């Protein structure tokens, strides 16, 4: 089984189109250092990749994709540069290089008569998660699978090393390459293009609440980094989980149904999604414990199960020209995270799952936890170096159970390089958790994307079923009142 190694130190021979060693030492105009967060994603245990799965309603024309990638992705310096270690000071820098698009676009020959195209695509993507991208080229690639599945006529699989940018940067890069199907000249719109507001202090009491919530979050963060580990459950990954291949499965629910629950309970869309996720996790764990210990064995009481929830720290989610990494200042890894506790227990009223999620998220919103985690990682890097910062980051992630992310997608049907998009499914692999749940909206659907370690969670399809069924139970409970 191929492992995902640390890329430090890099030993790369640059070609004739790249600056010479002397130019590199002088700090030429074309060189740019990797940010601390980008370097963190090269440390052992944090060598994370972002994967983007895109289903097309038509067969994919590879020549069209290649031509357009040259005029979009390759204009972005991060997608046309190597990441090279400066042996003088130990830092890493972007070094521009000549890119052969055929080295990055992979089109395997497929058997049109295969027994199950859906299983083949799932297996293919799983295999990608077990092998890193060669560090002798820019750290991204695209795999085109031109075979009909139950969801699409063709499937594109993008892989990006997390050092290239965070999920918001990469999502916006992809969306900047799309257009509305109803208006081929217009960029798609996200649910909100307004500037995001910082945590606001409206009164003395709210200011105290923010300080208190932030202090509690700080204490929990430090305790987690030192010793506080989640309960060992059938979802908790074992040591070395970041090096194992993963399964990626998706399941969708109606966006209108989620909006119906949101309106009925006067909560946010994120509260509904988190509540349904909490209910689905309980349902799945109850089944796993019952299978192991006998019928009707419930989930143990008072288990500690937390998610690392990621927050975008940028001021805007507006889709712009993301081929320019300097003009907008929106590239890089500008994300913070919070440690979100789930109450994994049976609730007589299914709506209590959403009420609990809202109460927890309200506390998280009334704190500076995401900004703190982002700033703290940078501070540790500056004071103690990348190795210490990497070990701290890994410890926090490993001691929790899962990653969770919720990203708004286009509100209308879109096309990518002229191909109408059937679905979008972003996720990650290489993280020291056995499970990631990524939620993305597109048009009239909300899709749960599961990234699961095959050894810890051998049946991620069942987990998808549980998430979907839990939401339907919540909706039915509202309809019956």
Within 10 A of 61 (CB to CB), how many other CB atoms are there? 16
Catalytic residue among 162, 394, 419, 438: 162
Residue 47: φ, ψ to 5°:
-80, 80
**Percent helix, strand and coil across the chain, each to the nearest 5:** 40, 20, 40
Which of these, 57, 52, 50, lies nearest to 415 by C-alpha position?
A: 57
Half-sphere exposure of 461 (CA within 13 A, CB side): 3
Q: Is 162 a catalytic residue?
A: yes
Distance between CA atoms of residues 391 and 305, nearest Å: 21
Distance between CA atoms of residues 330 and 210, nearest Å: 27
Within 10 A of 413 (CB to CB), how many other CB atoms are there? 17
Contact 155, 121 (CB under 8 A): yes
Residue ranges with strand state E in 217-275: 246-254
Chain-centroid distance of CA 481 in Å reads 36
Q: Please, where are the H alpha helices in 331-419?
A: 351-365, 369-384, 386-399
Q: Residues of 420-448 as b/e, b for ≥16 C-beta within 10 angstroms?
A: ebbbbbbbbbbbbbbbbbbbbbbbebbbb
**What Rg value do the Cα atoms of the chain yield, rounded?**
22
Which of these, 426, 4, 55, lies nearest to 244 by C-alpha position?
A: 4
Residue 436: φ, ψ to 5°:
-130, 135
Distance between CA atoms of residues 262 and 247, nearest Å: 31
Q: Treating both helix axes as pointing N-terminal to C-terminal, what angle do 269-293 and 460-479 enclose, rounded to 10 degrees?
A: 120
Distance between CA atoms of residues 403 and 166, nearest Å: 14
How buried is 316 (Cβ within 10 angstroms: 0-12 exposed, 13-18 middle, 19+ buried)? middle
The residues carrying an active-site annotation are: 162
């Amino acid at each position: 089984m191929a492992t995902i190694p640390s890329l430090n130190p890099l030993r790369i021979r640059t070609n004739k189109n790249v600056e010479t060693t002397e130019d590199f030492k002088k700090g030429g105009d074309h060189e740019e250092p990797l940010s601390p967060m980008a370097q963190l994603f090269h440390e052992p245990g944090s060598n994370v990749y972002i994967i983007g799965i895109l289903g097309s309603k038509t067969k994919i024309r590879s020549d069209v994709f290649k031509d357009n990638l040259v005029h979009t992705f390759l204009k972005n310096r991060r997608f046309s540069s190597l990441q090279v270690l400066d042996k003088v000071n130990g830092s890493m820098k972007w070094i521009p290089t000549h890119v052969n698009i055929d080295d990055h676009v992979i089109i395997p020959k497929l058997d049109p008569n295969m027994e199950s195209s859906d299983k083949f695509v799932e297996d293919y993507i799983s295999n990608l998660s077990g092998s890193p991208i060669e560090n002798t080229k820019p750290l991204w690639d695209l795999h085109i699978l031109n075979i009909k599945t139950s969801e699409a006529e063709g499937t594109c699989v993008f892989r990006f090393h997390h050092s290239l940018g965070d999920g918001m940067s990469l999502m916006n890069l992809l969306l900047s390459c799309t257009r509305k199907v109803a208006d081929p000249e217009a960029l798609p719109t996200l649910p909100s293009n307004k500037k995001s507001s910082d945590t606001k202090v409206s009164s003395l009491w709210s200011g105290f609440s923010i300080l208190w919530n932030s202090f509690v979050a700080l204490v929990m963060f430090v305790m987690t980094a030192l010793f506080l580990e989640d309960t060992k459950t059938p979802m908790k990954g074992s040591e070395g989980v970041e090096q194992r291949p993963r399964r990626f499965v998706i399941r969708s629910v109606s966006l209108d149904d989620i909006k119906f629950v949101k309106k009925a309970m006067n909560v946010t869309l994120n509260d509904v999604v988190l509540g349904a996720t909490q209910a689905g996790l309980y349902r799945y764990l109850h089944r796993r414990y019952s299978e192991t210990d006998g019928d009707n064995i419930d989930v143990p009481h008072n288990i500690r199960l937390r998610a690392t929830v990621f927050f975008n720290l940028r001021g805007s989610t507006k889709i712009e020209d993301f081929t320019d990494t300097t003009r907008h200042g929106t590239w890089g890894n500008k994300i913070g995270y919070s440690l979100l506790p789930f109450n994994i227990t049976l609730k007589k009223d299914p709506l209590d799952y959403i009420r609990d999620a809202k109460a927890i998220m309200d506390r998280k919103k009334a704190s500076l936890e995401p900004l703190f985690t982002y700033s703290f990682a940078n501070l540790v890097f500056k004071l103690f170096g990348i190795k210490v910062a990497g070990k701290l980051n890994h410890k926090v992630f490993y001691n929790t159970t899962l990653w969770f992310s919720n990203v708004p997608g286009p509100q209308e049907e879109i096309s990518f390089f002229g191909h109408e998009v059937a679905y979008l499914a972003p996720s990650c692999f290489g993280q020291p958790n056995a499970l990631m749940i990524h939620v993305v909206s597109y048009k009239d659907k909300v899709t749960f994307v599961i990234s699961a370690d095959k050894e810890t969670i051998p049946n991620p399809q069942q987990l998808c079923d549980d998430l979907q069924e839990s939401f339907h139970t919540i909706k039915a409970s509202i309809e019956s009142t």
